[in-house]
Amino acid sequence: MLELDLTGLSCPEPVVKTKRALKENPQGVVSIVDNRAALENVSRFGRAMGYKVNAVEKDGAWRIEITK
């Protein structure tokens, strides 16, 4: 599964990059973010597109798995 390192980016950039990646990898991607706004926005986007979203926090960053 494609893994995107989106740490250090502020919204809407993590959502835009996740959206582009999902177009090329419709089965799912993993987005790694380091701020709460990106966590909430990327998770909301994934759910709105009909994907399952699972986020796990580790060392100040969240690994958001977006899968069919």
Question: For position 13, which CATH number holds?
Answer: 3.30.110.40
Domain ranges, residue 57 = 2-67
**pLDDT given at position 67:** 98
**pLDDT given at position 20:** 98
**pLDDT given at position 29:** 98
b (16+ CB within 10 A) / e for 8-34: ebebeebbebbeebbeeeeebbbbbbb
Task: Give the DSSP H/E element, type plus range, for residue 20.
Answer: helix 13-24
**pLDDT given at position 15:** 98
**How many domains, the chain?**
1
Active site residue 11: yes
**pLDDT tens digits, residue range 4-51?**
999 999 999 999 999 999 999 999 999 999 999 999 999 999 999 999
Given 9, 11, 32, 55, the catalytic residue: 11
